[in-house]
């Protein structure tokens, strides 16, 4: 695998891990919980923020596994598009920079898809048939 694909995968995994585990699960950036509260309501914001953070952490681990890169890129696309749409519709006033956020996420997904389309598909290897007749 080419070093650029590895670098993109490591970078993408780091982004999901920092935003998921660091910012949401561990509460490193309280503004994320505030944004979630604007979408789901104050009462559910804490648990939903943690669940979203755990899902983002799972995406990071999936990226690092190298399994099914195209499916992983598709899940990342749906996740980011959904989160961006909800944030823009329900919490726009809480976003630091809405347009740059969308542009940065589009560039991020472009890199994710580049890596996915240029990665070999990782599957369990099939066992070779023996040729010794036995």
In the predicted structure, residue 120 carries a pLDDT above the cut 90: no
pLDDT band at 23 (very low <50, low <70, confident <90, very high): very high
- 132 in any annotated domain: no
Q: What is the distance between the alpha carbons of residues 111 and 109, in angstroms, rounded to a whole number?
A: 5
pLDDT of residue 77 exceeding 80, the answer is yes
CA 110 remoteness from chain centre: 13
Within a domain: residue 58? yes
Q: How confident is the model at residue 28 (pLDDT cuts 50, 70, 90)?
A: very high
Q: Is residue 46 part of a domain?
A: yes
Q: Is residue 101 part of a domain?
A: yes
- The CA distance from 17 to 53, in Å, is 8
Model's pTM, two decimal places?
0.86
Does the pLDDT of residue 122 top 60, yes or no?
A: no
In a domain, 42, yes or no: yes
Give pLDDT, residue 127.
64
Q: Note down the domain range covering 63.
A: 3-117
DSSP 77: H
What mean pLDDT value characterizes the chain? 93
- Residue 127 domain-assigned? no
- Give counts: helices (H), strands (E), the chain: 5, 0
69 inside domain: yes
Q: What is the CA radius of gyration of the chain?
A: 18
**Residue 124: inside a domain, yes or no?**
no
Range with the lowest mean pLDDT among 18-22, 102-106, 111-115, 123-127? 123-127
Q: What is the mean pLDDT of residues 119-129?
A: 64
Q: What percent of the chain has pLDDT over 90?
A: 87
- Indicate whether 17 pLDDT > 60: yes
Q: Count CB neighbours of 116 within 10 A.
A: 24
Give the total number of structural domains in the chain. Answer: 1
């Amino acid at each position: 695998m080419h070093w650029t694909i590895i670098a993109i995968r490591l970078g993408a995994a780091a982004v999901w891990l920092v935003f998921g585990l660091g910012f949401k699960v561990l509460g490193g950036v309280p503004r994320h919980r505030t944004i979630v509260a604007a979408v789901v309501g104050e009462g559910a914001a804490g648990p939903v923020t943690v669940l979203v953070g755990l899902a983002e952490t799972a995406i990071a681990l999936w990226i690092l596994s190298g399994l099914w890169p195209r499916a992983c890129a598709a899940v990342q696309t749906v996740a980011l598009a959904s989160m961006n749409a909800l944030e823009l519709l329900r919490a726009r006033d809480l976003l630091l920079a809405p347009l740059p956020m969308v542009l940065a996420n589009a560039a991020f997904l472009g890199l994710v898809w580049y890596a996915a389309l240029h990665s070999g598909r990782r599957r369990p290897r099939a066992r070779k048939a023996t040729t010794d007749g036995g």
